Amino acid sequence: MQLVMDMKLQKKYRLYPDSRVELTSFAEKYYDIHLDIASFGLYKPFIKKVIKSMNIQPEDKIIDFGCGTGRNACLMAKYLNSNGVIIGLDISEMMHRQFEKKCKKFPYINFFKKRIDQPFILNEKFDRVFISFVIHGFPHEVRSIVIQNACNHLIPGGTFHILDFAEFDMDKMPVLHRYIFKRIECKYAFDFIKRDWKAILQEYGFGTFTEQFFFRKYVRLLTALKNG
């Protein structure tokens, strides 16, 4: 009963009550476990495949927006040498602790407690910005801030990697998939899948797009180059 009350209280004080990007403390604590169970063990090999396809170079400087537990940062770090850098950004103290524990063997990975949905400035530029299943959970006007933050922190020719839902017509999904999507996703996700993300990114100075699709083309890694 107390757990239910705590979850309701946390929802009440979320910045975006209609989003599921902001997790309860319980969900944060067991995030990777929940993800593996919910995906029937498919997430781990999937994210390994995604990161391998990003063609990370040994001395790349990478910033991970909404880095979570550090699982993705650790996978990216395997492609770097000692001159590479990964900065993980998140606002959760629980995620911070898990990130530090997971990534402690990589001296070139650091965590900054920082919101990506508000303008911020770091005193360096990066070769890549990576964001995984986060941006769909914001209202659209907030997504614009996230994109601008990414643009501001990339070098000319740097790449913005967005791993998230693809654009698709939910009415054409198989009934079971549509039911699951409606059950687990927030209302912002329904808006996200309807938008032309290449056109949106072009407005912020991105171009030369590549995309890879997964899970029957419902998930996409969209990569955009920042124009010089």
pLDDT class of 18 with cuts at 50, 70, 90: confident
The answer to which of 27-36, 64-73, 178-187 has the lowest mean pLDDT is 27-36
Q: What angle do CA 46, 96, 141 make, to 5 degrees?
A: 70
Instruction: Specify the number of domains making up the chain.
Output: 2
Size (the chain), residues: 228
- The mean predicted confidence, pLDDT, of the chain is 89
pLDDT at res. 188: 94
Cα 202 to Cα 67, 120, 222, 226: the distances in Å are 25, 21, 13, 9
pLDDT class of 26 with cuts at 50, 70, 90: low
Number of other residues whose CB lies within 10 A of the CB of residue 22: 18
pLDDT at res. 30: 67
Which residue, of 91, 114, 137, is where some domain finishes?
Answer: 114
Distance CA 215, CA 116 (A): 27
Question: What is the distance, to the nearest Å, from the Cα of residue 181 to the centroid of all Cα atoms in its chain?
Answer: 18
User: Which domain range does residue 225 map to?
Assistant: 124-228
Which residue, of 95, 114, 133, is where some domain finishes?
Answer: 114
Domain assignment present for 131? yes
What are the residues whose beta carbons fall under 8 Å from the beta carbon of 75, sequence distance 6 or more? Answer: 47, 48, 51
Residues 138 and 101 in one domain: no
> At residue 112, does pLDDT exceed 70?
yes
> At residue 75, does pLDDT exceed 90?
yes
Contact 99, 68 (CB under 8 A): yes
Distance CA 103, CA 72 (A): 10
Entry pTM: 0.90
Rounded mean pLDDT, 163-168:
96
What are the tens digits of pLDDT across the range 114-152?
Answer: 999 999 999 899 999 999 999 999 999 999 999 999 999
* Tokens found for residue 137: 């959970």
What are the tens digits of pLDDT across the range 184-207?
Answer: 888 999 999 999 999 999 999 999
Sign of the four-CA dihedral 59, 60, 61, 64: negative
Distance CA 64, CA 99 (A): 12
Residues 222 and 142 in one domain: yes
> At residue 9, does pLDDT exceed 70?
no
Residues 102 and 154 in one domain: no
> At residue 2, does pLDDT exceed 90?
no
> At residue 66, does pLDDT exceed 50?
yes
pLDDT at res. 32: 75
Distance CA 131, CA 111 (A): 15
Residues 74 and 128 in one domain: no
Which residue, of 94, 114, 134, is where some domain finishes?
Answer: 114
Distance CA 125, CA 85 (A): 11
Position 82: which residue type? S
pLDDT class of 23 with cuts at 50, 70, 90: low
> At residue 8, does pLDDT exceed 70?
no
Contact 35, 71 (CB under 8 A): no
User: Which CATH number does the domain housing residue 76 bear?
Assistant: 3.40.50.150
Residues 72 and 161 in one domain: no
Distance CA 159, CA 63 (A): 11
Distance CA 54, CA 84 (A): 15
pLDDT at res. 41: 84
Distance CA 136, CA 21 (A): 8
